[in-house]
Amino acid sequence: MSGKIQPVSGAKPLSMWQQYGPSEKTVRGIVIGGITGGIEICITFPTEYVKTQLQLDERSSTPKFKGPIDCVKQTVKGHGFFGLYRGLSVLLYGSIPKSSFRFGTFEYLKSQAADERGNLSPVMRLLCGLGAGLSEAVFAVTPMETVKVKFIHDQGLAQPKYKGFVHGVGCIVKAEGLGGIYKGVTATMAKQGSNQAIRFFVMETLKDWYRGGDNTQTISKPIVGLMGAVAGAASVYGNTPIDVVKTRMQGLEAKKYKNTLDCAMQIWKKEGFFAFYKGTVPRLSRVCLDVGITFMIYDSIIEFLDHYWKKQ
């Protein structure tokens, strides 16, 4: 007997999505998410670079940068325009699996929790987003972010020691072992989990509100992009403090902190509350653009594939 679901006699043939259901949605989430991640990081990386430099520029010592614009000026002056892309290879290598895990996990969890109309309850929007964030944190984001932060931090030294991605990773593993690329895993899980919980909650809520609960209604791409920007902004203000702690835990001076909690306490005592919001402006610009672009690209590819297979 064939493993493929056979339509009832006289009924309309089932589409590929209908035949395979959730597993097909999971696969497309993994594949399309990876493609989407690679495209968006090439567009938004300079703002990520500036955000990381500002977060590493501790308030307790003499600040090296006066702000985002000054950081850009000093970087371009000292390293040229492409200095703003230092560490891109690391993020590019990691962005594809990161987005694959994010969307693949979310699509899988959504397929298990959605109602008959394909919609999620408010609580499940949060939980599905949380699951997506934790998945990407463990399997992709932590090692990627650790290496990226060390690369960017290394550039600020008088004599940078990392000559490239492979050489840099080799130096880190040789000096600290495999655990060296898993620094700040707790903070990263907290950051990514809260990030995606907020983003997917806001995104799914706005989509549901716009379509009036009708999951079959198409939303124009500019509106999807605007919704993504709103979701991105909400996540920035919601979890930038966690992002700052994560960055410090992954920097070259992470050894001075006993653990994630100690890092947060030291920042609070030595630098004050507002130190937890360092890099908010460049992060806000990057994340809004990032999330808006990501959902636009993702939804566009999904619609194209759905349209294509309906014709099969």
> Rounded to an integer, what is the distance from CA 107 to the centroid of its chain?
16
> Residue 283 corresponds to which tokens in the numbers above?
């992060």
pLDDT digits (tens, 9 = 90+) for 190-216: 889 999 999 999 999 999 999 988 888
Higher pLDDT, 279 or 195: 195
Q: Which residue in the block uniquely carries the two structure tokens 């920007």?
A: 229
Which amino acid would we find at residue 202?
A: V
Work out the number of other CB atoms within 10 angstroms of the CB of residue 159.
Answer: 5
User: Is residue 21 exposed (0-12), middle (13-18) or buried (19+ Cβ within 10 Å)?
Assistant: exposed
Per-residue pLDDT tens over the stretch 108-128: 999 899 888 888 999 999 999
User: Which one-letter amino acid corresponds to residue 226?
Assistant: L
Higher per-residue confidence, 74 vs 254: 74
Q: Copy the structure tokens of residue 244.
A: 């700052």
Task: Tell me whether residue 253 is exposed, middle or buried, using C-beta atoms within 10 angstroms of its C-beta: 0 to 12, 13 to 18, 19 or more.
Answer: exposed
Q: What 3-state DSSP class applies to 95?
A: helix
Residue 51: its pLDDT value, please? 82
Counting Cα atoms < 13 Å in the Cβ hemisphere of 259 gives 2
Q: Which two tokens stand for residue 20?
A: 């395979």
Distances (CA, A) of 161 to 59, 167, 289: 25, 9, 32
CA distance 43 to 225: 15
- CB burial class (10 A; 0-12, 13-18, 19+) of residue 80? exposed
d(CA 89, CA 75): 18
Identity of residue 192: Q
CB 43 within 8 A of CB 294: no
Per-residue pLDDT reduced to its tens digit, 255-274: 888 888 899 999 999 989 88
Q: Residue 252 is encoded by which pair of tokens?
A: 């070259």
pLDDT in tens, 88-109: 876 777 788 889 999 999 999 9
CB atoms within 10 A of CB 210: 14
Give yes or no for residue 311 having a pLDDT over 50. Answer: yes
